[in-house]
Each structure stands twice: as C-alpha cells, then as structure tokens.
Structure 1
Amino acid sequence: MSVITSPGAPTPAVAAARERSAELEHLVARNPAGYRVLTGDRPTGALHLGHLLGTVANRVRLQNLGVEVFLIVADYQVITDRDDAGDLPATVREVLLDYLAAGVDPARSTVFTHSAVPALNQLLLPFLSLVSVAELERNPTVKAEAEASAAQGRRGTSGLLLTYPVHQAADILFCHGNLVPVGADQLPHLEITRTVARRFNQRYAAARPYFAEPDALVTPSLTVLGDDGVKMSKSRGNALELRASEDQTAAYFKRARTDADRTITYEPERRPEIANLLRIGAHFSGTSPEALADEVGPAGAGRLKALVTEAVVEGLRPLRARRRELASAGPRYVADVLARGNARANEIADRTLDDVRGLMGMRY
C-alpha cells in the first residue's frame, strides 16, 4: 500500500487512474465522511524518510480532512518472503511510535494488526474462491517481489506471497474501505480487490451488492532514493530512519551519492541523485526543486547537502521531539492505542464476516 511514482509517460490505465483521483480529491474535500480509507505497512523495521514523504504524510492529511482512516500494521505479511520475522513486538511498537509522532491520531484513525483480527483473515478463504491461480501469478507486484526474493537468496515464492493481493482485498473489504491510497505500481493489487468485490456481489448479493468496489487514490508523492542512489528501503540498509538523531541525519546526507557536475540543476532523468536531494530539500523548506537548484547553482553538491540537512533537521524536529516524548512515557500508551484499534477492527470484522456467512448460506 506504499505510494511509488514511476518515471516516464504513464500508461492509459495509470493516466485514467490519476484523472479519477483528481476528481476524488474534490469529492473528498466536499464530503470526507463519505469515505473510509484502508492503508498500512509491513512492520519490518522503524519507518524512514521515504515512508513519511511517500505515504504517512498523506494518511495524516486525509485523517485531518475528516476521512475515516484504518491503518493496518500487516504483521502476517512480514513472513510472505522471509523465514525470520525478527522481534515483531518491538518492531510494531517502533512503527506505532513513528505513526503517532507523524500525526496519526488514534481518536480519528484506527490502528490495528493483522494477527489480532481473526475474522479479517477468515475472509481470505471465500475470497480465494473468487480468483484464479493464473490471475494471481500474473500480478506484476507479486512477480517483482518473487524476483527480489530470489535475487537476495531468500526462499521461493510462498503461498502467502502468491495470495497477497487477495489478503489485501480482505484488509480493504472487511471494513468496507472505499478509497485506497496507492502508487501506480499497486493498481493491479487494487484491481484484484475490485474483482473480488464485484464477483462476490454477482455470486452472493446480486439483488443488493454488499461490497463497494474501492477507488484508487493515486496522489503525488516523492520517490525517495537512499544514500546509495537506489530507492530508499529498510532491506537495503540505505534509509534514514525518522527516529535518527540530528548528527545521524547530517552524516547520512554527507555520504549521499551525487555526481561529477559541480553546478546544481534539477534534471531528474539525467541527474537522479541530485534531483532526489533537491526534492527532499524543497519539501522541507517549502520551495520547489527548481528554485532550490537555482539557489545553490555553482556552489556545488556540498552546499546542496548542507541545505538539505538543515531543512530535514528542522522539518523533522517536532516529529522527533514528539516521538521521544511518547517513547519516554513507556510502552503502556502505545499498547493501549493498539488495543483500542484492535478492538474496533475486530468489532467491524466480526460483523462483516457474519454478513458474508449469511449471504453465502453458511450461518448455522
């Protein structure tokens, strides 16, 4: 459910999704209470700058508009492509601290974990009957994840990874989510959800459709590169964690990859590493990448890195202060937030599963 933008001209499907998203933004602004968003992350480590700029800031924006947000910490999905899930309780706590520090309000957004909501996961069974193995195997994101696992020497495609798009359908449909923030690369995942909803309605609720087919909200976001010039990722070890110190932030940007041209220009295709720094700096300083490039000009990459470091440190200062405050309060507060979120998610999931059983003639 992370938002990733891709370079180059969009396909017709992506162009249509972006056009529809622009319409949805106007509709949401007029009637935020009419929308329910489901989004989330795999808890494979504390969140980093790419998460904030790519997804988390947008979730907080939607929450603050008045949209009901369900935020899933997808712990079951950690084991889709790895044998060792690590210290999940500690990782989940770190992710929750990042969410809360970034502005997620548990009074307005429901934060919960996969494993704590049995009825959600039970929906996977009837939903799997609505899609074919061929449809799952040709899902491009599943293909990409499987290839990445093989390249990193991990085990072959697991059944959980293969069925991930249907599990995601259960995530979205259990709470009757009708708006899903996605990147263009995840549109095929959402199409599986729409297919599941449509086929369920056709098979079991033709007279009165039960599930809405959720819309994709493809919103502009930053694709953030790590200090090695490759997309920022926890698994690559090239990420700047939100919880990092100011000194760690300065050291991170000091070693960030640039290029040999001294004069700074904003040319994303030709100079991706420089463009990445310009976009990050512009985001936190409230300007444009082009204007920041003009400001630095012949002063070179060293000056650019200094300006980006200053902007990021200042921009993240309130978030980091809030995170330290929450962490110092001890684990109880975060545990209580998750317990309340899990309870609400269970209440909704139980009701949905009961409805599904009734429509399928399986309520005994």
Structure 2
Amino acid sequence: RPIAANDSVITDWQADGIGVVVHEISHAIGLPDLYDTNYKAFGMDFWSIMDYGMYTRQSKYPVGYTAYEREFMGWQQTETITEPTTLRLSCFHQGGKGYKIVNEANSNEYYILDNRQALGWDWGVCSNRGHGMLVMHVDYNKSSWTSNNVNTTYNHQRFTIIPANNSLIGSNNAKTGAQWKESLLGNPFPGITENHALTDETVPASTVYAGEFMHKPLMDIQETEDGIVTLKVMPLGTLEAPADTWFEDVKPGSTLVVWEPVENAELYNLQLWSEGELVFHQDSIAQTSFRLSDLPTDVNYTFAVQAISDSYLNSEWTESESFRADPDVISEITESMELVRIYEMNGRLVCECFADELYRLSLQRGIYIVRYYDGRTKKVMI
C-alpha cells in the first residue's frame, strides 16, 4: 500500500542491499569517505566500502574491507616489510593479511598490499572486475581524515590505488560503463595486463609525494591458479643459474639428477620434460640432487633446475642433456669383458678399454657412445 514520506507518497518499492548501511556504520566506527566528495577524482572506486564498493551487486554484496580499514578498526594488523623478502599473500577469506611498505622520507606515507579474490565479501567485485594484488597508496594527514577530505584534491589523493594497468578510470570520469569495467579489470597485479613489477622505472612507477620514488621495488609478482600472490620485495639481485647438471646412480626407471650449487641459493626448483611437455615438477628442494623415479625406460627426458632464495630474484633455468632411465644398457656393458671404444657425442675417440673397466675410467660426467668391435653401439651416462 502507498506510504507517506517527507511530504511525498511512495507507491512502489523494492528491498535494498546492505551496502549503504555498512558504509554508514563504518563512519560511526571512524572510517572517512574514500570517494572524492567533489566527484572528480578516482578515490578507491569499487575497491573500498567507503567508496563505490558499497554499491556492488546493487548493494547486496558490498566489497570487503581493505587491509587498511581492518587495521584502522583494530581487527587485523598489517605487517611492515623492512628487509628483502619473498611474500606469499593469501586473500582475507583464506586467512590472509595486508603488508605495508613505508616511505623512508615520510613515515605517514606508505603502500599497503593485499590480495583480493572472488571469495567471501570480495566475490561481488572480483568475480567480474579483476582479482590479484591491490597496491594502495596512503598519504596520511590527520586533518584530511578528521575533516573527511581524504581524496578531495585531484592531484594529491591521500588514499587511492596504484593500478597495474596505469588506468584510474572510475565512476567520476568513465565515459561508458564498459570503459569503467575494463579499467577496473586491470587494476590488480599482475592482472590482465600481466604487470609483474612495481619499481622506480616501471609504468606505472612507485611514485610518492615525499621524494620522487619509493626506492623499494616489488618484483616477480605472480598469481597462482588457486589465488595466491607471490612477489619479491627489495631483492638483493638475481641468482646465478646452476652451472652444470649430470646424472648418477642410474637404476631401472630411476635416475639421480645432480647440479652444481649456487651461491646465496636457499632452495631449488626442478622440472622434468619429455618431448616438449612438462611431466613432473618439484619445488623447494633443499639439496643439490633429486631422485626421479617411476620413469619409463624407453622415453627421452631432460630436466631443468632453478636456484631460488627469499632475498634474491630466482635464477634462469639450466637444462640438462637428454637422457633415458635405462640402466639395463649400462649394466649390460659393464658386465661384459669385450673390448670397446668410447666416443664423445661429437664423435671424438676418448679411449679403448674392456667394457667392465668403463666406470673405473676418469671420464667427465656426460653421455658417451660405446662401440663394440662387431659394430654394435650403445649410449651410457657417466
């Protein structure tokens, strides 16, 4: 039935969502508006409940609180990063938290990193407007916060994002809804633009108001299939790749793969390839060797190894020569008393010996051709 309200009569209505209510209650707790109350600047747009995020899915599924807002209300502390490290960010729904990178020239200016995924209250935004690591740029000023003028200065927004796609198109400046949505999709890192770094030299760059740049690079930003974001913060450099690889202790369907240690490496990643396809991988190996098992003996393989460290960028991959896990060939040779000739893969004659002396020779590690006097040939790995 019609309802009278403010000298008007409401004849039709529908249930509204909770977004606006959450926004106003957040004011009561102490959070300021993060949209530009002059309706010109980007602010935080859909990425905060204190901006357009209150309207997500017709206000029925408002965006979740940012790491800053959670800390402001005393719910969860962010962790300040002061040394080179590797971060692994889970989203809030999976128990994650935010991280802070502080400007050395002004402790009230900092970046906050959090991982936004289509889970929990972030589902409404992230399911159709992008997901990944959000980089928020905060330049705290008490007066701006208490007077509710955080983002009213167009060229000095005090709480906004650094977008991976270098595009701040929001509700106040989008020409079309499609342009607005497309821009938001590229805001998180690495995002649809595959932007894997934020440094003094990248686009966008790690700019600040106090000084010119942050001088604390964020590099190798990756997002896994299960929504974990990893990145290197202030890496000390790039690790050298393992200089050499070889094989030892070949058994039926099994080979011990070995590689040279790398200075400053903490762990190693391993990949096994066959005919251009990745068939096995093992991450974070503490030793400089790994036994590969359950390998068909009639398949050609190569393996690749990478050095990793929390404080350095990962090395390039070092790839091995082709091999087969076929010890029967080797055992047949070494158990024989026949006279054989040993050749390198390039055809150079190494020596002539009896087959059972093969492993007693001082041969460098690698693959050799064993040629019998009756014309038979076999490959062996030393």
Q: Could you say which TM-score interval applies, normalised by the shorter chain?
A: under 0.3
TM-score when normalising by structure 1 = 0.22
**Greater strand share, 1 or 2?**
2
**Which structure would you say has the larger RCO, counting Cα contacts within 8 Å and 6 or more residues apart?**
1
